Structure 1
């Protein structure tokens, strides 16, 4: 990355479920697209991995996979390697390089990759580096491989671009390191808003964004405000530039965004009728939602699954209920267009079946839902955190337990859950008890002093079932 990017401060470890192979596979099944083959030695690459939390979780959950984590920041990669060594992950490769260097790598240096993901990068780097990143994808993504691309987008971030330019200029005149300069920039903007600046009057969402930024992790805030080349993109631009690398747009890694009926104002739905140009249709959707960020999925070549194979792929998807699922009462989804009530006749039988244990979508179809309706219901359950796709059979959890001990020691509020191919959040107040349970790994794990907090009891069964913690002795 360029010197205009704040490389002198590490980015905090943040986990993104949408980047995991299991999640991507589930969403692609819902979209009627062929997902990556996760049964064997697939290759997964993250461009701009930060401290590597997503990469080490993926490596721990997929022992047969080869995971490549790439970043320019040496401190980031040192942390990723430390976690990998503590967990004993021979399948994680870390690479310190800039995107221009990567794009010019010898043909046999990388890949071909089945999945390439990049989060928090495209909107934050210089145009030349962005072009190099895209060339890397074009060179090292295998035919049929999948790309996950996260970036900030218009129109939701159009006004924010003006605020970021101001923040960067104010920060350049402030004293101290990146965190102090970012805080000075926010403080200046807060005074501007309090003074009645017309920008914040005309764009009230920017006042809310400013207030939220002041509660953000200071290191993350510096990375958000200080890059010289930060910019949002129109979705059509990204569809075009990835198209030049042989990648076609598939849909969003955020399942809600693939269901127009629950993500768009009802009055805008007729305007999408007959739009067969994906770039135009997605632009209309972004305008209808006032979309501020995107998590796009692309594939190198390929075609949608025929109807019969689409249903077969979806029917074979195994799901498990998560602790966030409601125990009783109506199911409500809080969407960008407001609360949406889950139809009891559709969702109650699905939740009841999943409460009895993990099952495949094909088994859920026995409750009478039409396949298209069931597909949308499953994607809503996954998006809302009520359910998650599961791996079968469960991979050896030993590496995940070792990784989780290292994550607890680092104060990272996530636990690798190999049965999910993902990670589960842990509240800070529960971390000491979780660390003790990981150390005990036997009959001592049921000690009364560790089982007392109600929230811990509520989560223990799921954490153990999904391989994040050892089973009870």
Structure 2
């Protein structure tokens, strides 16, 4: 392993993901749920945003596109990542973002004055995958780069949920270190080895029944993710109390969760579980005990450098935050929302008024609370809204709609995807964020942007052309379609995109 990587596996580039929880509006909403003042006192105020470990830079570029009032800086130690991010920003015509190659150890020892201070700092896929010395450097960076009142997003593999996977990860690293196999080959070799251990009813697989499920899940996960997840020299799932103690060195206090539903813990836990927490009011003990109750595997925590509580009567945030519809399918009788602590169900009859009020536009929390029969119990209404946002049915943004559409930016993203780039998100101006899309949607969007007139008549044919160019086929129930079945599916998807998806994207500010 090269010394410049500090044990981080660089044999494969990082994935091209976007994480909605890192959006400034999302972070502000999560803090508002906890009664805290956000780094920006009002929507539209200028802000600075730093991502430490910005990876390929795709996600940060989308945030910069959707938030023109922000100044974005991405720092990563991999020249491959920095080159990709800078090139993509140039391709998209973004002027409010830059990428810098930097080593956390050096930056922790000396934070460049020219970088300045930031209102938002994000660390995704970093903290529990680096050695303790680099974590100390990150703390020094946060202390130097975080403005007073800054919000810090930090995600990490959490204990005790990862405890059952420790033997599997250890063996994968050992297989690679001993030269038996490398990269994805080490994962495949380790998986086969644990298949043998399970077949002979080994002590470790009997003692850790969840291990089998975790290994099975790796069969359906992207190769790049598996290398990045399991094959680092330093892979240390952490207890929340450990992270709280370490980040306290940068004057940071745990202030909420970017996993919105977890801001209602322990209230959403069964009564008997809440009883276990009774009398345990020390924050560190309470967090770890809660994680034991739900067997937490991954945390997306929000820390604030000097958290400030809103005044008791201050409710402006309920007027400022707006809800948008993200899923456009018809409401099922029951919406199931999966969380780390179980599943919650919302009946259509309980939430139909919410969707009716939002309609084809947006609606503020205050407007929803004023609806007859809807907002009588504001706490319950907020819980429902949070679960719907958590489940991807609704999106949340800060401020009035009307931001400039992302037509040119997203058209370029789609054109790159149409020639094979692994991009599956589009920026949404009215969300200050981005949404996930599937292959057929982004290819249809490219067809629409390239030739709107032809698209009106031949959308299905244009989708087929792009699929053929990429050597892909539509699938149903996991099986590739052929012949008439594929042709029918192409036309159906084109019709749905034209009649429902594209108009909805216009409302969200994805296209002009």
**Mapped partners of 1:262, 1:210: distance in 2:** 32
Structure 2 spans left out of the alignment, 5+ residues: 461-490
Deviations 1:100-155 (A, max 9, x none): 11112345132310000011101111111111011101111000000000001111
Q: Which runs of 5+ in 1 are unaligned?
A: none
How far the C-alpha of 1:174 sits from its partner, in A, is 4.1
Q: Distance in 2 between matches of 1:435 and 1:360?
A: 32
* Number of the residue aligned with 2:511: 469
Q: Which residue of 1 aligns with 2:465?
A: none
Contact 1:19 1:148 in 2 (8 A): yes
Q: State whether residues 161 and 231 of structure 1, in contact with CA within 8 Å, keep that contact through their aligned partners in structure 2.
A: no
Shift of 1:398: 4.4
Superposition deviation, residue 254 in structure 1: 0.4
| Structure with the greater alpha carbon radius of gyration | 2
Q: Give the aligned partner of residue 105 of structure 2.
A: 100
Residue 468 of structure 2 corresponds to which residue in structure 1? none
Change (3 A) 1:124 1:267: same
* 2:36 maps to which of 19, 33, 42: 33
Deviations 1:422-467 (A, max 9, x none): 2222212333222112323x44443342475255244222222222
**Whole-angstrom CA distance in 1 between matches of 2:176 and 2:24:** 38
Change (3 A) 1:432 1:348: closer
Could you tell me which residue of structure 2 aligns to residue 239 of structure 1?
244
Task: Choose from 378, 383, 388 the match for 2:390.
Answer: 383
SS at match of 1:319: strand
- Rounded to whole Å, the distance in 2 between the matches of 1:298 and 1:332 is 29
Aligned mate of 2:457, from 436, 447, 451 = 447
Give the 3-state SS of the residue equivalent to 1:228 in structure 2.
coil
Q: CA deviation at 1:259?
A: 1.4
How far does the alpha carbon of each residue in 1:52-79 deviate from its partner, in whole angstroms, 9 at most, with x for none? 1211011111123111111111111111
Instruction: Judge conservation of contact 2:255–2:302 (CA < 8 Å) in 1.
Output: yes
- Corresponding residue number in structure 1 for 2:444: 433
Greater Cα offset, 82-91 or 328-337: 328-337
Tell me: CA distance 1:403–1:111, structure 2 relative to 1, closer, same or farther (3 Å). Answer: farther
Residues 384-405 of structure 1: per-residue CA shift (max 9 Å, x gap): 1111113533135245335423
Q: Contact between 2:164 and 2:210, CA under 8 Å: does it hold in 1?
A: no
- 1-structure distance, mates of 2:280, 2:319: 29
Q: Give the structure 1 partner of residue 402 of structure 2.
A: 393
Cross-structure match for 1:456: 497
Q: Is the counterpart of residue 220 in structure 1 residue 225 in structure 2? A: yes
Q: Give CA-to-partner distance per residue, 1:185-237, whole Å, 9 cap, x none.
A: 23322332233222222222111110111221111111112111101111011
Aligned length: 468
C-alpha separation in 2, matches of 1:265 and 1:172? 45
The 5-angstrom pairing of residues 312-323 of structure 1 reads: 312-323=316-327
Please say if 1:91 is aligned against 2:109. Answer: no
1:404 aligns with 2:413: yes
Q: Report the equivalent of 1:153.
A: 158
Does structure 1 conserve the Cα–Cα contact (< 8 Å) formed by 2:369 and 2:381?
A: yes
Report the TM-score when normalising by structure 1.
0.92
Q: How far apart in 2 are the matches of 1:314 and 1:171? A: 52
* Cα distance, 1:276–1:445 mapped onto 2, change above 3 Å: farther
1:373 and 2:380 are equivalent in the alignment: yes
Q: Displacement of 1:177 after TM fit?
A: 4.4
Q: 1:187 to 1:462 in 2, by over 3 A?
A: farther
> For residues 430 and 300 of structure 1, what CA distance do their matches in structure 2 show?
41
Residue 39 of structure 1: SS of its match in structure 2? coil
Structure-1 residue corresponding to 2:121? 116
- Tell whether the 8 Å contact from 2:326 to 2:394 is kept in structure 1 after alignment: yes
Deviation at 1:26, TM superposition (A): 1.6
Instruction: Name the CA distance, whole Å, in 2 between partners of 1:273 and 1:345.
Output: 34
Cα distance in 1 for partners of 2:335, 2:228 equals: 37
- 1:300 aligned onto 2:330: no
Between the aligned partners of 2:217 and 2:179, the Cα distance in structure 1 is: 22
Is 2:191 aligned against 1:186? yes
What is the TM-score normalised by the length of structure 2?
Answer: 0.86
Supply the distance in 1 between the matched residues of 2:108 and 2:329 (Cα, whole angstroms).
Answer: 44
Given that 1:60 and 1:399 are in contact with CA atoms closer than 8 Å, whether structure 2 keeps it comes out as no
- Give, in whole Å, the separation in 2 of the partners of 1:127 and 1:337: 29
Distance 1:69 1:180, change over 3 A: same
Kept after mapping to 1: 8 A contact 2:396/2:431: yes
1:278 and 1:26 map into 2 onto residues whose CA distance is 22
Match of 1:16 in 2: 19
Larger displacement relative to structure 2 (300-309 or 344-353): 344-353
